[in-house]
Amino acid sequence: MSPVVGIVMGSDSDWPVMEAAAKALDEFEIAYEVDVVSAHRMPREMITYGERAAGRGLKVIIAGAGGAAHLPGMLASVTPLPVIGVPVPLKYLDGMDSLLSIVQMPAGVPVATVSVAGARNAGLLAARILAAHDEELQQRMSEFQQELNDQATEKGKRLRSKVEGAAGFGFGSGK
């Protein structure tokens, strides 16, 4: 299967965070490619990657970077594809630098920014974008959402029985 999502990052040191995007795509059996593409360190290759992405069959790009994280925005400026930006937290500033670098894009060049280190949501958002034109994938996404719902309900049940058991009386929502 040829990749439909490109997961790129400014350095291989971002992989421990970015891996969660790949895992989410694995869960939905979506083919992806992974690479290091840095706007700062390899600007020409970065432009070429962005310019060729759509023509190579990619449908979504997930771009993660830390610090002065210009990669997602620069890619968005040279590709018509949706770009999802992942702010990678580094040793200093707790990812605030990456977050602000990615999220404050000028009008006309959108980047869908997820939370700091939110690579799993980036993968899930890419799946939803693809699902807009894929009924089967959309069905799987609905099932996934139902599972989340069931898990949250279960957590509520467990919490209520723990607290009510300790207090020796019942209260709460009565569900």
Ligand X SMILES: Nc1c(C(=O)O)ncn1[C@@H]1O[C@H](COP(=O)(O)O)[C@@H](O)[C@H]1O
Q: Order of strands across the sheet with 5-9?
A: 32-36, 5-9, 60-66, 83-88, 112-113
Q: What is the distance, to the nearest Å, from the Cα of residue 151 to the centroid of all Cα atoms in its chain?
A: 21
- What's the min distance (Å) between Cβ of 157 and ligand X? 41
Please indicate if the annotation marks 160 as binding a ligand: no
Per DSSP, helices labelled H in 14-134 are 15-27, 43-53, 71-78, 96-103, 119-131
Tell me the number of residues near ligand X by CB under 6 A: 18
- Report the C-alpha gap between 71 and 102 in whole angstroms: 8
Query: For ligand X, which is the closer residue by CB, 37 or 129?
Result: 37
**Interface map 22-51 toward ligand X (x if CB under 6 A):** ----------------xxxx----------
- Report the C-alpha gap between 50 and 28 in whole angstroms: 24
Please indicate if the annotation marks 26 as binding a ligand: no
- What's the min distance (Å) between Cβ of 119 and ligand X? 12
Please indicate if the annotation marks 150 as binding a ligand: no
- Report the C-alpha gap between 88 and 173 in whole angstroms: 39
Is 53 a binder of ligand X (CB under 6 A)?
no
Instruction: Output DSSP code: residue 168.
Output: T
**Interface map 67-106 toward ligand X (x if CB under 6 A):** xxxxx----------------x-x----------------
The burial class, CB within 10 Å (0-12 / 13-18 / 19+), for 36 is middle
Query: For ligand X, which is the closer residue by CB, 30 or 86?
Result: 86
Is 14 a binder of ligand X (CB under 6 A)?
yes
Binding site for substrate, by residue number, is 11, 14, 41
Q: Footprint of ligand X on this chain (CB under 6 A)?
A: 9-11, 13-14, 38-41, 65-71, 88, 90
